[in-house]
Amino acid sequence: MTNLVDTSGWLEFFTDGPYASYFLEALRDMDRVIVPAHSYYEVFAIVMRERDESDALQVAALMQQARPVDITAAVSVFAGRLGVAHQLPFSSSVTLAVARLNHATIWTQDACLKDFSGVNYYPKRTA
């Protein structure tokens, strides 16, 4: 089984949030984890903004132990179709497209994706 932990899942894991252990389940075998290219950008930018560049670089290094998936023209077109058909924002559309093209299970806190098959959804908890 291939797993795709999206940006929200990586951030939950890195910040040791309430659902971090659920995302750890998906991340235990990094050889079976894929990461869409846009997730590197999103996670790096958020960690750098909220912490510092050193932490962001450490996070990016850990993420690179998984298998990166480039956002090709074909992925973009498929994501566009999914986005229009399901009224999804860019990031969610690309995540769903990459997962479907790679037969991966999505691990997320993104409510836009919660009702799709092949998605493990863990709602964000507020303190």
pLDDT score for 125: 79
Pick one of 3.40.1190.20, 2.60.120.260, 3.40.50.150, 3.40.50.1010 as the CATH number of 2-121. 3.40.50.1010
**Segments making up each domain of the chain, as ranges:** 2-121
Distance CA 50, CA 56 (A): 9
Maximum CA extent, the chain:
40
**Structural tokens at position 50:** 């909220």
DSSP 8-class letter at 120? E
| pLDDT in single tens digits along all 127 residues of the chain | 999 999 999 999 999 999 999 999 999 999 999 999 999 999 999 999 999 999 999 999 999 999 999 999 999 999 999 999 999 999 999 999 999 999 999 999 999 999 999 999 999 876 5
Distance CA 37, CA 55 (A): 19
Closest among 101, 105, 81 to 32, alpha carbons compared: 105
Closest among 10, 12, 28, 11 to 20, alpha carbons compared: 12
Distance CA 113, CA 7 (A): 13
Distance CA 125, CA 16 (A): 12
Beta bridge partners of 2: 104
58-94 burial by CB neighbour count: b if 16+ within 10 A, else e?
Answer: ebeeebeebeebeeeeebeebbeebbeeeebeebbbb
pTM score, two decimals? 0.94
pLDDT score for 126: 66
